[in-house]
Amino acid sequence: MKKQLDRREFIKTGALGLAVASVGLPKLALPQAGTSDMVVVEGEVVAAMKRALEALGGIKRFLKPGMKVLIKPNIAFPYGPEKGANTDPRLVGAIAQACVDAGAAEVMVAEYSLAPGFLCLMQNGVKQEMAKVKGAQLQYFEDSDFYQETPIPGGKSLKKTKVLKKALAADLIINAPRAKTHGETTVTFGLKNLMGIVYDRKLWHSKYGLEQSIADFSTLIKPQLTIIDASKVMVDKGPGGPGTLVPLNLVVAGVNPVETDGLMTTLTEWYGKKFAPADIKYLKLASELGLGSVDPSTYKYSRLKV
């Protein structure tokens, strides 16, 4: 088994539990009707997230006491949030705190970074922010033992993949990506961010087709809540940059992952031009699998400011 970078040091300084339990498929939280299913909020990132949750009906719409929660930010690169490559650590901490306050039995912030995980969590600032949240855990998962090969019955190309066991065991998954460009998929928001809970993701590129794999995986893992950090979006040279940052000062949140990503696609230019949701291949493929609309004329959402 591959050893994690500075694992013992990381545990001593705040990373929690590495125990692996046998798990089954994810249990879905069943939210009650709220005031909206999708919302765009302008303002400081934490305040905007809190207002977005209110507009969606509150965190308790999604989270019942005793649930296990997995929060999946984008912490793929060893940079601070000012670079636009990772989710703002203040946003991650605020989401985790809201889950703790709502009575979650377990709150896990999880990532399988592209760079060494210890460096990413430290240099992004998320480790420092999560230290303020009592009752939540932060961990990077680089070892294969943390993953379970899982069938994808609804997949067209990707029929199985190794999925993070913590994600499979979660009652509630909250996806918290950073909005930015990507050289292979044009943009990367929520659906693509879920590659960070997959161990054998290199095969998505080399064997199964990246866009189809993203769509196929979305038939298995369906976050009940997506909260996109669009405070500063990298509109070129993503996903790692350095690229051009546009200060949209937005948080985009929604219940349907495909449509939340689709709405984000329309809110600014990428690579200097406008894209429709259907122009993003993995969103179109996910829509063809019945996972949501890529027709923005069908989107119903609130636009708010704090």
- Residue 115: pLDDT band (50, 70, 90) is confident
Q: Is the pLDDT of residue 123 over 90?
A: no
pLDDT tens digit sequence for 131-168: 999 999 999 999 999 999 999 999 999 999 999 999 99
pLDDT tens digit sequence for 21-36: 333 333 343 334 446 8
Q: What is the pTM of this model?
A: 0.88
CB atoms within 10 A of CB 218: 27
Q: Is the pLDDT of residue 174 over 80?
A: yes
**Helix ranges restricted to H, the chain:** 7-12, 45-56, 89-101, 117-124, 126-130, 165-169, 190-193, 202-203, 210-217, 257-265, 281-288
| Residue 48: per-residue pLDDT | 98
Radius of gyration of the chain (CA): 18
Average pLDDT over the chain reads 89
d(C-alpha 157, C-alpha 215), whole Å: 9
d(C-alpha 169, C-alpha 93), whole Å: 21
Q: Give the tokens for residue 219.
A: 């038939």
Q: Give the tokens for residue 118.
A: 């210890």
| Residue 60: per-residue pLDDT | 96
Flag the least confident range among 118-122, 192-196, 225-229. Answer: 118-122
| Residue 16: per-residue pLDDT | 35
Q: Is the pLDDT of residue 211 over 90?
A: yes
| Residue 127: per-residue pLDDT | 92
Bigger pLDDT: 4 vs 102: 102
Q: Which CATH number fits domain 28-305: 3.40.50.620, 3.60.130.10, 3.40.50.11440, 1.20.1250.20?
A: 3.40.50.11440
| Residue 35: per-residue pLDDT | 62
- Residue 84: pLDDT band (50, 70, 90) is very high
67 contacts: CB under 8 Å, gap ≥ 6: 29, 104, 105, 171, 172
- 254 closest CA partner among 224, 218, 292, 276: 224
Q: Is the pLDDT of residue 19 over 60?
A: no
Mean pLDDT on 100-115: 93
What is the distance of C-alpha 288 from the center of its chain?
22
| Residue 119: per-residue pLDDT | 82
- Residue 12: pLDDT band (50, 70, 90) is very low
Mean pLDDT on 202-230: 96
- Residue 5: pLDDT band (50, 70, 90) is very low
CB 169 within 8 Å of CB 21: yes
Mean pLDDT on 225-238: 97
Domain boundaries, the chain: 28-305
- Residue 296: pLDDT band (50, 70, 90) is very high
Q: Calculate the alpha carbon distances from 231 to 49, 86, 98, 228, 261 in Å.
A: 11, 11, 20, 9, 15
| Residue 120: per-residue pLDDT | 82
